[in-house]
Amino acid sequence: MNYELLGKQIRKYRKSKRYTLEKLAEKLDVSTTFIGQIERAKGKPSLETLVKIANVLEVSVDCLVFGDLNSKAINGFFLNRIIELTENFTSNEKTLLLKNIEIFEELKNSASK
């Protein structure tokens, strides 16, 4: 999980609701220090806490975890993950994967017309 992106998303939605760290911490029954640590990617919330944060901020968990799918941070995350997953692929396997992605793009584009 990209904890830096998670923290930025939590801060963004907390501020959009005009919640202070104290107010969000109170609603979650956790310390302001812990919320601050999460927002700075120094603390890692449990799944239960993450769900509570999403509910209090009235957003989905995936919105907090993945953010805006067009953002540079998430694109970097996906690119790094693809590189990681294909590291041991042969040239032929990488070519096949690229062709599949191109086919997917063609299908997506034709479906949106």
54 and 39 in a single domain? The answer is: yes
The pTM for the full model equals: 0.62
Whole-Å CA distances, 108 to 17, 59, 79, 88: 35, 27, 20, 28
Cβ(34)–Cβ(25) under 8 Å?
Answer: yes
Instruction: Please compute the mean of the pLDDT values over residues 88-112 and round it to a whole number.
Output: 92
Q: Which is more confident, 46 or 75? A: 46
Give the CA dihedral 17, 23, 27, 30, nearest 10 degrees.
130
| Mean of pLDDT over the chain | 90
Do 47 and 19 belong to one domain? yes
- Same domain? For 62 and 90 the reply is no
Residue at which a domain ends, from 51, 66, 81: 66
Position 86 pLDDT exceeds 90: yes
Report residue 28's pLDDT band, with 50, 70 and 90 as the boundaries.
very high
